[in-house]
Amino acid sequence: MHRQGPDKTSTGDAAGREPAGSQPAHPRPERVAGMQRILLVEDNELNRDMLGRRLARRGYEILVAADGHSGLALAVEASPHLIIMDMGLPVMDGWEATRRLKADVRTRHIPVIGLSAHALDGDRCRALECGCDDYDTKPVDMDRLVAKIRSLLEAPRNAAD
Ligand code: MN
């Protein structure tokens, strides 16, 4: 997996492109065949763009949705390998969206990492009860989040390696 240095700018965009003139251009990783697709459902635009960009730099193809309803639709349509689900979302919140994902035979196999701003045990339990496979809190620690992503993506698939 292709990994670049730590984030040090707030410019660039969600696709992971570098700001103009900073570094030699990197290939846009999200178009590389065989990349793992992550659906990021987050209503806060700044959080969505920043997290999306950071995950793209870690080598993932990123799809985004800004509310629970759109997230569900995109999960069915695009079959992401993993979903990062903010819990506080408009239209349909992350708890309900995760419940529905896990009740739908088309999407129930997709690992979901619930995300909220609350480090409360109650939120973690509630997320896991809704069917989240793991849970993390904002602000995101990228190394910790990526470790959870890798663990969920690799566990079943590489069991026979
Ligand atoms: Mn939110």
* In a domain? residue 20: no
* In a domain? residue 22: no
- How many angstroms is it from 79 CA to the middle of ligand 1? 22
Q: What is the pLDDT of residues 90-148, one digit of tens each?
A: 999 999 999 999 999 999 999 999 999 876 677 888 888 899 999 999 999 999 999 99
The structure's pTM equals 0.76
Q: What is the pLDDT of residues 137-161, one digit of tens each?
A: 999 999 999 999 999 998 754 444 3
From the number of C-beta atoms within 10 Å of its C-beta (0-12, 13-18, 19+), residue 105 rates as: exposed
Residue-range definition of the domain harbouring residue 116: 2-10+34-153
* In a domain? residue 138: yes
- How many angstroms is it from 157 CA to the middle of ligand 1? 31
Counted residue by residue, the chain has a size of 161
What's 63's domain CATH number?
Answer: 3.40.50.2300
* In a domain? residue 18: no
- How many angstroms is it from 93 CA to the middle of ligand 1? 9
Residue located via tokens 């999200």: 30
* In a domain? residue 21: no
- Give the whole-angstrom CA distance, residue 106 versus residue 156: 18
- How many angstroms is it from 87 CA to the middle of ligand 1? 6
Q: What is the pLDDT of residues 19-78, one digit of tens each?
A: 554 444 444 444 456 789 999 999 999 999 999 999 999 999 999 999 999 999 999 999
Indicate the number of domains in the chain: 1
- How many angstroms is it from 77 CA to the middle of ligand 1? 22
* In a domain? residue 16: no
